[in-house]
């Protein structure tokens, strides 16, 4: 079975009715764009809305294959550095809302995380988790898997607000702050990411 690599839906971070400010073309030649975060692989994308459509931050839009109600096409994949200041400001709350929507997907990380090297464990990639907390998580999950974030917090003393820690890690990955990727799809190897199937 071929692994699906494209996003079906995205959440709007910023809508630019007059195009991106860095677009060198005159304003009347620019097309409106929206910067969005895909909700499956957490891919940052720019999309062009259908004529006359206005998109609002935090709105979820269908961008998959088939007929789209609001999006004409996906323009390109972008990096964190390509986001507008407004999009960067919206990103943390959008990431937190995605974690709140699918907590099971993220608690699974705590149940399955494995060593990366003989000295370094995947759990240590989460901000705030050092060796002591890592061992506490590993000991507890041997007894039984964590059911949800509340269960994790109750059973691992000292591990507070795990949802926020996951959100911080996702933001770091979106910013390209670390070579390891746990949650976010790696950036495209192509220079601009343009034309790549998102």
Looking up residue 133, the CATH number of its domain turns out to be: 1.10.150.280
State the residue range of the domain holding 113. Answer: 99-175
Quick one: average pLDDT of 55-61? 96
Residues with Cβ within 8 Å of residue 10, at least 6 apart in sequence: 36, 37, 38, 39, 45, 47, 60, 61, 63
Query: Would 50 be classed as within a structural domain?
Result: no
Residue 3 reports pLDDT greater than 70:
no
Per-residue pLDDT, averaged over 25-33, amounts to 88
| 63 is a domain residue | no
**Three-state SS for 61?**
strand
pLDDT of 107 > 50? The answer is yes
**91 lies in some domain:** no
Please tell me the predicted confidence (pLDDT) of residue 192.
39
Mean of the per-residue pLDDT values of the chain: 90
Which residue shows structure tokens 């059973």?
Answer: 155
**Mean pLDDT in residue range 77-88:** 95
How high is the pLDDT of residue 89?
97
Give the pLDDT score at 158.
94
Q: Kindly state the tokens that stand for 126.
A: 């989460």
In sequence order, what are the residues at sequence separation of 6 or more whose Cβ sits closer than 8 angstroms to the Cβ of residue 61? Answer: 9, 10, 11, 12, 34, 36, 47, 55, 68, 69, 70, 71
Q: Is residue 155 part of a domain?
A: yes
Predicted structure pTM score: 0.86
Residue 151 placed within a domain: yes
Q: What is the pLDDT of residue 189?
A: 55
Please name the helix (run of DSSP H) or strand (run of DSSP E) that holds residue 10, with its range, or none. strand 9-16
Residues facing 47 on adjacent strands: 34, 74
Count of beta carbons in the 10 Å neighbourhood of residue 60: 14
pLDDT greater than 60 at residue 63: yes
52 class by beta-carbon count within 10 Å (0-12 exposed, 13-18 middle, 19+ buried): exposed
* Count: domains in the chain: 1
Is residue 118 included in any domain, yes or no? yes
């Amino acid at each position: 079975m071929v692994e699906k690599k494209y996003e079906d839906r995205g959440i709007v971070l910023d809508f630019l009715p007059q195009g991106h400010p860095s677009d060198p073309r005159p304003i009347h030649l620019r097309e409106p764009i929206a910067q969005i975060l895909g909700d499956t692989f957490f891919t940052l994308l720019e999309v062009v809305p259908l004529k006359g459509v206005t998109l609002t931050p935090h709105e979820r839009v269908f961008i998959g294959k088939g007929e789209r109600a609001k999006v004409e096409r996906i323009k390109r994949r972008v990096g964190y550095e390509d986001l507008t200041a407004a999009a960067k400001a919206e990103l943390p709350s959008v990431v937190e809302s995605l974690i709140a929507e699918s907590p099971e997907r993220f608690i699974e990380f705590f149940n399955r995380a494995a060593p990366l090297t003989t000295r370094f464990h995947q759990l240590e990639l989460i901000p705030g988790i050092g060796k002591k907390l890592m061992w506490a998580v590993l000991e507890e999950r041997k007894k039984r898997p964590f059911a949800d974030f509340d269960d994790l917090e109750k059973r691992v003393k000292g591990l507070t607000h795990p949802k926020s820690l996951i959100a911080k890690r996702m933001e770091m990955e979106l910013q390209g702050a670390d070579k390891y990727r746990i949650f976010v799809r790696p950036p495209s190897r192509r220079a601009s990411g343009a034309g790549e199937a998102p």
